[in-house]
Structure 1
Amino acid sequence: MISRFFSRISSRVTLSVWRRLRARLWAVAGVVALGFLIALEFAARRYGLPGPIASQVREVIFPPKSGFLLYAAMALMMVVLTWRQRFIAAGAAIGIDVAFLVVRWVADAKVTDGHPFGNGALWVILGCAVIAVTRRTGRERVLLLKGVGLGLLLVAGRKTGDTWLLITSKTRPAVLDQYVATADHALGNPSWLVGRIVTATGPIGFNFLDVVYGQLAVAAVIVALYQLRNVAVERRFPGHHLVRTFLVIGVLGPAIYMIFPVVGPVFAYGTGTEHWATVSMWSDTPPSGQWAVANLWPETPPPISTPHHMPFDAITPRNCMPSLHTAWATVIFIHSRKGPRLLRFAGTFWLTATLGATLGFGYHYGADLIAGVVFALTIEAALRSLDRGWDRSGIQLVAHGATVFTVLLVSYRYLPLEMARHPWVSGPLLMLAMTSVVYGYVRTIALWEPRAAPARQQEPQPEPV
């Protein structure tokens, strides 16, 4: 009895200490994120372009480049509002956008760079921030500010990613595509195989996958809205949800691009001009293909030879290793597992179609996708551990995922020839390495779930006299 009493006290003290520590960690993370945004702003200014902060401020008045994303951000913010407040907010956003359209029409200002809508959504988000500070108090103020922060973070994550891509293209003149393409022989050159399949489907298959690939954020918002559907009723956010992982992947992933710059097979081994829309945010002049090794993709896989660093233009982003589209689609799949059948089907469909698009469009090698899955599961495990408290299983899972990810990058860089010459050994080893992280994640989550939501034991009822 005494030992049980002290164990309860110890567990409560530990939980209290962890909650205070977690609050401090989030405060530190907020300061670091602000400093990071300011640093990216200065880095972008160095190349004569607006950074993430300036781009966001610009969209208050000028046509936004991310109109759909701004409305998606407003939808995330509205999870903290009542249904009446949601209708008012949506109506206000549409009304403001109509007013902007009328003013631009009267001023004969044509929208050539950006979307003709989206300003209204941003104004509503900022207006809710003002209301939270001036008209709300206590928990209501905190909840509304959290909703505003969630919406602004979604857009800031997009702006941060764009700036990261700019920095990779300007600061990494040489790319490692030959190394990854050589290592990809161990997997049977899947980008070349899927690329031929997508080409054979004609414009119908291409346009279908292009829509799926380009609207990945929409799928993420749909799953996030389902997860956050009860925030307005419970007056609090869940401990962990998709948006957190989605944003962290978008912030940390481009840092790997700086370490392992790769442009992708359609650019390194093809002309890349038909895919110019993906890199047209900084230049109106498409690449001529003169930087490519040869025009081989997707018809002819590159021959096995000693790889070298290869110079590339200062326009195309080095955004292949790891594949963040694969990482994002993976976490969408994970977070859709607890939804209704339709949502689970959508999560599976988006993951499958995204894998086909990343390979079929020549944006990624197969090795990128394996690294992307490991990267996503490692970050997801770390954020879940941060929410529930670090324990041995969480530390082991994150350490295992980080180790496998590091080994993958080292292998692609220093052992590509050996991997290409022995595909029957190296190929299964690559798949086994990824599978070990998937298995470890599934097994650890199975151990966590009962503790995350313990069943309440019914108190014994007195026996009738």
Structure 2
Amino acid sequence: MLVEYPRAVAGGADLGTRLREPRVLAVVGVGAVLALLVGLQIVASVSGFDGPLASLARDFVGTPKSMSVPWAGLILALVGISTRRRVLALAAAIGIDAVWVALRLIDGKPFTVGNGPTIVLAALAVVAAVRWRGRERADALKAVALGALLVLATKVGDVWLHLTSAMRPTVFDEYALLADHALGDPSWVVGRVLDVLGPEVYAVLHWVYIELPVAAIAVAVWQLRKVVTTGQWPSHYLVRTFLVLGLVGPLFYVLFPIVGPMFAFGADGHGFQVGNFWPAAMPPLGSNPAALTFDEFTPRNCMPSMHTAWALSLFIHTRRDVDGSRAPVWMRWGGAFWLAATVTATLGFGYHYGVDLVAGAVLCLTVESALRAPERGWGGFRIGLVGFGAAVFAGLLLSYRYLAVPMSEYPVVAGAIVIGLLAGVAIAFHNTWFATAPAPAIERIATPAI
């Protein structure tokens, strides 16, 4: 199904119509993002930690915080421009990065990259907006916006993690631990297994865990590979789910603050831990869990597990191509590997409890159901599916907090209910979106009037 965007409306159009014009929406969106960044920078400066604008400035002219995220953002932006321009942009980014690496090494600073893609990404935005016209500009600016949002989302996320520890001085890890008995305490089990497997397996899992954005960009580039040649954008693709999950999921960090087994019950608790138990032994908790006072800098970023949510969304998007056809074998196996490795890492490194992963999976399926196949509209099928997922998600979090003791006392029954609810959401999701092959769904960006 092709969706044609209307051309600019004549000057006599009403305010509502004018506000829906692409240019107006773009200006409003940019203004909102800038306001958010400035506001968070002020909060960060007052609180004594780096803000998004300071971090972004270092990506341009200092030492970037991440080596992979700036490059991921640029590569995503390249889907909207021609092959010749891609080559030029990549060459410029590599050259700039090489100069900055040399300057840092001469100055005795650590090796890192990221300045080049950041500068070229910003340059692409300016050149496309000022010099290009028509569909060429529309495609380029949309792709650049996606790349920039990916980079900015990580900056905003870093600030939010700082704020979670400031807003929630106590954590609910004791509740999560008791609730996790219903799932067999998987973090302790997988942690012991990784200790046996040795450093090689740990290194692979660690790389998979921290480079999730790289895998996501690989899938997104594949999904958007035909944008320039066809002038058509898929109605839904992985980046949309990633960004919405990143917007919605972390809000629950302050509602259910958890730091994770390796901090609350392990050696990395900086003196605030219950004891050094993880992963060798289970903590001797009774039936009186309580909020645990914790430090002022460890993020409360476990519930829900966003790594699980993002990895599951990547897995879902590697099942089929955007036109509804079966995805290539390498993509399907890659998505399955990344999900399995991410789940193993989140548990085996002591970053999450099993109940965090269940909540993250339900959140992913719910958000994906809200975004998937927008051309099908918001009929009863979508409202019911999203409502069911939201109800299960809320029920899980409430149960973890207020029914943790009964869950630990009756683990078989509680575990069956938790897994059954997750399976119910997954089956409903599959029956709605994957039981039959959907018709191809793409949207065409009409050439705006200049």
TM-score range, shorter chain: 0.7 to 0.9
Whole-angstrom CA distance in 2 between matches of 1:440 and 1:167:
36
Aligned to 1:14: none
1:145 aligns with 2:141: yes
Deviation at 1:58, TM superposition (A): 3.0
Whole-angstrom CA distance in 2 between matches of 1:248 and 1:233:
28
Higher relative contact order (CA 8 A, sep 6+): 2
1:445 aligns with 2:433: yes
User: Of 158, 163, 176, which residue of structure 1 is paired with 2:159?
Assistant: 163
Could you tell me which amino acid in structure 1 is paired with residue 277 of structure 2?
Answer: L
1:360 aligns with 2:340: no
User: Of 169, 172, 176, which residue of structure 1 is paired with 2:172?
Assistant: 176
Whole-angstrom CA distance in 1 between matches of 2:222 and 2:234:
12
Q: Which entry has the higher C-alpha Rg, 1 or 2?
A: 1
- Contact 2:304-2:357 within 8 A present in 1 as well: yes
Deviation at 1:36, TM superposition (A): 3.7
1:192 aligns with 2:188: yes
1:434 aligns with 2:422: yes
Q: Secondary structure at the match of 2:407?
A: helix
Deviation at 1:127, TM superposition (A): 1.0
Could you tell me which amino acid in structure 2 is paired with residue 44 of structure 1?
Answer: A
Whole-angstrom CA distance in 2 between matches of 1:421 and 1:198:
28
Return closer, same or farther for 1:70/1:387 CA change in 2, 3 Å cut-off: farther
Aligned to 1:333: 315
Deviation at 1:143, TM superposition (A): 1.4
User: Of 282, 291, 299, which residue of structure 2 is paired with 1:309?
Assistant: 291
Aligned to 1:296: 277
Alignment of 1:129-144 (within 5 A): 129-144=125-140
Alignment of 1:446-465 (within 5 A): 446=434, 449-450=437-438
Aligned to 1:251: 247
Higher alpha-carbon deviation: 378-387 or 261-270: 378-387
Deviation at 1:40, TM superposition (A): 2.5
Deviation at 1:34, TM superposition (A): 4.7
Whole-angstrom CA distance in 2 between matches of 1:384 and 1:33:
25
User: Greater helix percent: which structure?
Assistant: 1
Could you tell me which amino acid in structure 1 is paired with residue 274 of structure 2?
Answer: V
Alignment of 1:182-261 (within 5 A): 182-261=178-257
Aligned to 1:126: 122
Deviation at 1:211, TM superposition (A): 1.3
Whole-angstrom CA distance in 2 between matches of 1:411 and 1:46:
37
Whole-angstrom CA distance in 1 between matches of 2:32 and 2:84:
37
Higher alpha-carbon deviation: 197-206 or 333-342: 197-206
Whole-angstrom CA distance in 1 between matches of 2:305 and 2:246:
11
Q: Secondary structure at the match of 1:237?
A: strand
Could you list the runs of 5+ residues in structure 1 that have no partner in the other structure? 1-18, 273-286, 455-465
Could you list the runs of 5+ residues in structure 2 that have no partner in the other structure? 1-16, 321-326, 443-450
1:382 aligns with 2:363: no
Deviation at 1:247, TM superposition (A): 1.5
1:55 aligns with 2:51: no
1:342-383 alpha-carbon deviations (Å, 9 max, x no partner): 110010011111111111111000000000000111111112
Higher alpha-carbon deviation: 338-347 or 234-243: 234-243
Whole-angstrom CA distance in 2 between matches of 1:76 and 1:416:
43
- Contact 1:175-1:261 within 8 A present in 2 as well: yes
User: Of 82, 90, 109, which residue of structure 2 is paired with 1:111?
Assistant: 109
Return closer, same or farther for 1:26/1:398 CA change in 2, 3 Å cut-off: farther
Alpha-carbon RMSD across the aligned residues, in angstroms, is: 2.4
Could you tell me which amino acid in structure 1 is paired with residue 386 of structure 2?
Answer: V
Return closer, same or farther for 1:379/1:31 CA change in 2, 3 Å cut-off: farther
Whole-angstrom CA distance in 1 between matches of 2:332 and 2:235:
21
Aligned to 2:5: none
Aligned to 1:76: 76
Q: Secondary structure at the match of 2:65?
A: coil
Q: Secondary structure at the match of 1:412?
A: helix
- Contact 1:187-1:423 within 8 A present in 2 as well: yes
1:132-158 alpha-carbon deviations (Å, 9 max, x no partner): 122112222221111111111111111
1:419 aligns with 2:417: no
Q: Secondary structure at the match of 1:367?
A: helix
TM-score normalised over the length of structure 1: 0.85
Aligned to 2:324: none
Query: Stretches of 4+ moved more than 6 A in 1?
Result: 19-30
Higher alpha-carbon deviation: 336-345 or 44-53: 44-53
Aligned to 1:319: 301
